[in-house]
Structure formats: C-alpha cells, structure tokens
Amino acid sequence: KNILPTLINEFIALVKETAVAGYIALGDLTRGGDQIRSQTWDAFPPLLAVAAIYLVVVMLLEKLGRTVERRLAQSDRS
C-alpha cells in the first residue's frame, strides 16, 4: 500500500515515454501524428490531437490511482 503512489507515477511516466520508444522501433501515437502531418502538410492539428489523447490517458490513470488509493485507505480504517 505504501508504494502505490510511486508505482502509479512510474506507470504514467512509462506511458509518456512510449513516444520516445516509438521513434526507435515501435509505431505509437506520436508516430501516427507525424505520419498524418507528413501527408496533410498541416503540423498543428495532429500534434494537438496527440497531446489531447495523451492527456486523457494520463488523467484516466491518475483517477484510477486515486480510486485504488481511496479503497485501500478505507480498508485500513475498517
């Protein structure tokens, strides 16, 4: 229970770092945005969409972490 906040933060950092791995070997969200940008010659909208998707994913992970922490705290009180 004590390491849960740290574990969740590391998981969120891992999600954010997938963009770096995408440039090395994997196809990910950032690379997909770059492909759209290269086909449409419009840089801003694909980057905004990718940023918004990453933001939503991170916010969902944070909410999940808070929910798990709350449930574990309730089990400590009982």
Q: What is the pLDDT of residues 2-34, one digit of tens each?
A: 788 888 888 888 877 776 655 554 457 777 888
Mean per-residue pLDDT of the chain: 79
- The b/e string for 36-69 (b: 16+ C-beta within 10 A; e otherwise) is bbeeeeeeeebeeebeeebeeeeeebeeebeeee
For residue 47, give both structure tokens.
């980057």
Q: Could you tell me the pLDDT band of residue 36, with boundaries at 50, 70 and 90? A: confident
pLDDT at 73 over 70: yes
Would you state the pLDDT for residue 21? Answer: 58
As a whole-number percent, the residues of the chain with pLDDT over 70 amount to 85
Per-residue DSSP letter, 25: T
Radius of gyration of the chain (CA): 17
Q: Where are the alpha helices (DSSP H) in the chain?
A: 4-24, 29-40, 44-77
Would you state the pLDDT for residue 39? Answer: 92
